[in-house]
A = this chain, B = another copy of it.
Amino acid sequence: MDDDLKTIGEMCDEFDVTPRTLRFYEAKELIAPKRDGTRRLFTRACRARMKLILMGKRFGYSLEEIRQLLDLYYIGDQQVTQIRRSYALGLERLARMEAQRDELDAAIRDFRQQLKWGEEVLARSGLSRAAE
């Protein structure tokens, strides 16, 4: 049905990672490629998950946290209790993300202040052109 399958090499090109990384993610059950005998074949679902994995990494989640996040995205037809647990987990994570963003905002404000101080140091340093 959906057989736009990719080899490990093609995946590496697409996502700019090494084969080791993809095998590692499989070992950690973050992705589950099919097999042609012994060879891995990566489905469209794998690629979707890879995008999410790399997104997660960009803002500092561990692979284990990402695995849980992926479970949240792909719940399917499980028990409602399971969904509720995931939902609660999601709320927690949202709170953490918002806290993190607020800290980052504050840090950015501090940092801007620091840079203004740097500008003054440069200005008073006897040189007229601060940006050359």
A35 in contact (CB, < 8 A): no
**Chain A interface main SS type:** helix
Q: Are B107 and A104 in contact (CB under 8 A)?
A: no
- The total of chain A residues at the interface (CB under 8 A) is 36
A contact residues vs B (CB 8 Å cutoff): 55, 58-60, 72-73, 75, 80, 83-84, 86-87, 90-91, 93-94, 97-98, 100-101, 103-105, 107-108, 111-112, 114-115, 118-119, 121-122, 125, 127, 130
Q: Could you jot down 16 A-B contacts, CB within 8 Å?
A: A59-B100, A59-B104, A60-B60, A72-B114, A75-B121, A80-B125, A80-B127, A83-B125, A87-B115, A90-B115, A93-B111, A94-B112, A97-B104, A97-B107, A101-B105, A104-B104
